[in-house]
Amino acid sequence: MKSNYIGKPTSRVDGPLKVTGQAKYAAEFAADGLVYGVVVSGEIAKGSIKNIDVKEALSLKGVLKIFTHENVSGLPWFDKNYKDQDSPAGSPFRPFQDNKIMFSMQPIALVVAETFELARYAASLVKVEYKEDKHETVLMDHLDKAKKAPKGKVGFEEPKSRGNAGDAFKAAEFKVEGEYLHSAEHHNPLEMHATTVVWEDGDKLTVYDKTQGVFNCQQYITKVFGLSTDDVRVLSPFVGGAFGSGLRPQYQVFMAVLASLELKRAVRVSLTRQQMFSFGHRPSSVQRLALSASADGTLQSVKHEAFGETSRFEDYTEIIVNWSGTMYKCENVELKYDLVKLDVFSPLDMRAPGAVTGNHPFESAIDELAYALKMDPLAFRLRNYAEEDQMGGRPYSSKELKACYTQGAAKFGWDKRSIEPRSMRDGNQLIGWGMGTAAWDAQQMLANAKAVLSADGKLFVSSGASDIGTGTYTIMTQIAAETLGLAIEDVTFKLGDTNMPEAPLQGGSWTAASVGSAVKAGCEAVKAQVLKLAKKSKKTPVSGESADDLIIDDGYVLLKKDPSSKISISELMKQAEVGSIEEKAMSGPNPINKLKYTFNTHAAVFAEVKVDEELGTAIVSRVVCAVAAGKIINPKTAGSQIKGAVVWGISKALEEESMMDKNLGRFINHDLYEYHIPVNKDINDIDVIFVEEHDDKVNPLGVKGVGEIGIIAVAGAIANAVFHATGHRVRNLPITMDKVLGLSE
C-alpha cells in the first residue's frame, strides 16, 4: 500500500517552519499596544518584606504599573487552594498573596512598561527592605527531620515491601551496601518561560504560553481570576523544549494575565535564565542501598531507602525506590521513601522523574554485587530476570528486555569485555565498559481528537495536545494518513489550542499512546463514513460493495479483489454532494487490561568511558541503547528522542549539578556559563536499537512511548563503566575528576 506510514522513518512535518523561523513561540506573537512586564526577584530565602519602595521606578515616563503584594488582592485563588493538573499535595505558591518570603528569588514585584528595556531598568530601581529568618536549604544537613512521604500527587504509589530483607541480608554470603548522593538539577530548555496575553473587550483573553498543556493553563487562569473558559483561549503551537518545566503553569502566566486584565492591554512577561532556576527542579536525594545474594548469584535481598526534598508549602513526591522492587526477581525487598521540607520552591517533574534518580544507585549496587560474586554484570542480571511484575504480581503486557540485552550486547561487543577493573586501556586512557537496565510506565490517558475530511480529499486533524520537540505533529500525521489511506501530504495535524478537542498534558511518555489512539479512532470513524458513501454510490466501480470488500489507499476507494476498480474519495464526496465529513473521537485506557497486566517499556544501556589515568577526566566514547517500546510509529523521531535522552544521561552522570549556597539559600550557578551541560565535543557515538515488540493489550496502536526510557539507565551504566575503568566506585553524581581520583566524594 502506498499509504503505509506507521513504522517508517519520516522527517518532521513541522521542520520547514522551524528552520525558516516561521514557527512562533510564546514570546514571539505580536499584538497592538503590547507592553512588557519584568519580574523583580527576592533576595533572601526565608523571611518577609518589611518595605517595598517603588516610587523611583514609577516616576519614569512609560512605566505603567508595578504590581506587589500591597496592591494585589481579592482574587478567587487567594481564598481557594486551587490545584493544577500536576500539583502535589499542599497549597500551591501564590505570587503577591502576602509579604512572606518562602524561597530565594521568589517573585515579589512585576514592573510593566511601554518597552522591555524600560521595564528592566525600572525593575532595578525597586528597593526592598527585608526581615530575614534562618533558612534550611541543604538536604544532607536536615535528614533528621525527614518524615514519611505522603500520598502526594496523583499517580504516586507508596512503596511496598515484601518478605524480610533485614534477615535475608544478615544471612547472605555476599552483600554490598552504600550511600549515594544526587544533586539538584534544573530543566534549562532552550526557550525560556514566557507568556503573551492579548486583551479584548469584555475581558476576553488570548494567551500564548510556553506550556506542556494548554488546558491545564486555561483551567489555572479561569480558577485564579474567576473567568469563564469561554473568555480564555490558550495557545501553544510550538514549545522550545520543556522536559517537565511546562507541566505546571509558572508564575509568569499569572503575572501576564494579572497585568493584562488590570491595564486592558496586551502584555508580555518573559523570565530570564536566572529566573528559570526559581520555580522547580529535579530534587536532590540521599539514597542508601543494601543488596545481598547467594553464591550461585541469586538475589536474596534488596533494601532501598531514599530521602527527597520538598518545599514548606507542598509535598512533592517521586517514585524513586519502587522500581528497585520490580526490576529483578527477589523475595525480600524493603523500600522506604521520606521527605525533608526545605526553604525552596517545590521540586518539579523532570524527564523520567523518580526513576532516573533511583536507577543510578540501584544499578550501581547491582553492578557492585555482581563484582562481589565475580560474575559478569549482564550474566547476573539475566540470572535474576523477572518474567512478571514483582510488585503487582501481574504479567507484563509485553516484555522484550532479554532481546534488549542480547541485541545491545552484540552491538556493543560486550563479550570482548575483560571483567577485571583497570584491565583495559589505550595509552594513558583507562577504558571501562558498564551497563544498566531501565523500565518506565507505558501509560494511556483519556484524549480527544477531531478529523475533518474535505471534498477535495484533504484531511484536517486536531487535538489540543502539545509538541515540546518530541515529534507529535509528525507521528499524528502519519497515524491519520495511514488510518484513512491518504498521502501524507494531504493530511494536516494541528495542536496546542484550547479551541481544539481536549488532550492531556504532554508528559510521562503517554502522548503517542493517548492522542494517537484518539486520532486513529477519529480517522476510522471518517473512514467508515467514506465506505458508506462508496456503497451507496451509483454507477461507480465500488457501488454496492460492503466495507469488508473495500480498502482505501492513496486517496482512492479500491476493491480488494480488483484494486484497478477504484474511485477517488473526492469524486465520491462530490457525487454524494457531501462538502465534508467530520468526526470526533475519544480514547482512553482499557480498565480491564489495567487490572490484568503491567505496562512497561524496557531498555538496556551499554556505555564505554575513557578515563585519563592522571587527570581523572572521563569521556563517554560510545553508548548503545536498546529499547523495547512496542510499535515505533516513526523510527526517525523516536531515535532522536532516545539519542537526546542519552545525551542528557551523559550530562547527568558527568556534568549537571545545581549548587546550593547554604548561606544565601540560593542556587548560585544559575546560568548556562556555570551550570554545565554537554557541548558537541562531549558527545560521541550513540547507537539506538528498537527491539521488535508486539503488544495488543497496551492500547489500540500498540505503542508505549519513548520520551523517558532513554535517559533512565545511562548514568548508572556510565558510573559502572567508570568503576570498571578505574576500580573506584563513585556514588555521588556528577562524576567529576576529583571524585574519580578519590580526592572527594
| Residue-wise pLDDT tens digits, 278-303 | 999 999 999 999 999 999 999 999 99
**Residue 154 pLDDT more than 90?**
no
Domain for residue 6, yes or no? no
* Residue pair 245/197 in contact by the 8 Å Cβ criterion: no
Mean pLDDT (the chain) is: 96
Statement to judge: residues 431 and 294 lie in one domain: yes
- Give the orientation angle of helix 355-372 with respect to helix 635-654, to 10 degrees: 70
Domain for residue 3, yes or no? no
Confidence grade of residue 498 (pLDDT, cut at 50, 70, 90): very high
**Residue 744 pLDDT more than 80?**
no
Q: For residues 4 and 481, what is the distance between their CA atoms, to the nearest angstrom? A: 8
Given 247, 272, 297, which residue is the final one in a domain? 272
| Cα-Cα-Cα-Cα dihedral sign, residues 239, 242, 247, 252 | negative
If one compares 84 and 584, the residue with the highest pLDDT of the two is: 584
**Residue 348 pLDDT more than 90?**
yes
Output the nine-digit C-alpha cell for 656: 549537571
> Hunting for cell 523611583 — which residue is that?
56
**Residue 434 pLDDT more than 90?**
yes
Statement to judge: residues 314 and 370 lie in one domain: yes
Domain for residue 7, yes or no? no
Q: For residues 649 and 363, what is the distance between their CA atoms, to the nearest angstrom? A: 14
Domain for residue 209, yes or no? yes
pLDDT in tens, 18-74: 999 999 999 999 999 999 999 999 999 999 999 999 999 999 999 999 999 999 999
Statement to judge: residues 195 and 168 lie in one domain: no
Confidence grade of residue 566 (pLDDT, cut at 50, 70, 90): very high
Phi and psi of 9, rounded to 5°? -65, 120
Domain for residue 4, yes or no? no
pLDDT (0 to 100) of residue 700: 95
Residue 340's contacts (CB-CB under 8 Å, 6 or more residues apart) are: 139, 142, 143, 145, 146, 147, 307, 308, 309, 310
From 388, 524, 708, 745, active-site residue: 708
* Residue pair 371/297 in contact by the 8 Å Cβ criterion: no
What does each C-alpha distance from 281 to 344, 347, 453, 464, 672 come to in angstroms? Answer: 10, 5, 44, 26, 15
Domain for residue 545, yes or no? yes
Statement to judge: residues 608 and 686 lie in one domain: yes
pLDDT in tens, 85-110: 888 989 999 999 999 999 999 999 99
Strands 174-182 and 732-733, by their bridges, are parallel
Per-residue pLDDT, averaged over 631-651, amounts to 98
Domain for residue 574, yes or no? yes
pLDDT (0 to 100) of residue 745: 64
Statement to judge: residues 310 and 449 lie in one domain: no
* Residue pair 617/739 in contact by the 8 Å Cβ criterion: no
**Residue 75 pLDDT more than 80?**
yes
Structural domain range at position 451: 15-21+444-588
pLDDT in tens, 105-151: 999 999 999 999 999 999 999 999 999 999 999 999 999 999 998 87
Given 237, 272, 307, which residue is the final one in a domain? 272
Statement to judge: residues 613 and 489 lie in one domain: no
Statement to judge: residues 392 and 501 lie in one domain: no
708 as an active site residue: the answer is yes
Statement to judge: residues 107 and 246 lie in one domain: yes
Statement to judge: residues 609 and 476 lie in one domain: no
- Choose among 146, 75, 504, 493: nearest CA to 306: 146
Q: For residues 437 and 430, what is the distance between their CA atoms, to the nearest angstrom? A: 24
Q: Which helix (H) or strand (E) holds 183?
A: none
Per-residue pLDDT, averaged over 563-574, amounts to 92
Output the nine-digit C-alpha cell for 450: 477531531
> Hunting for cell 558510573 — which residue is that?
719
Phi and psi of 620, rounded to 5°? -85, 110
Given 539, 566, 588, which residue is the final one in a domain? 588
Statement to judge: residues 209 and 71 lie in one domain: yes
Confidence grade of residue 157 (pLDDT, cut at 50, 70, 90): confident
Number of domains in the chain: 3
Per-residue pLDDT, averaged over 149-155, amounts to 76
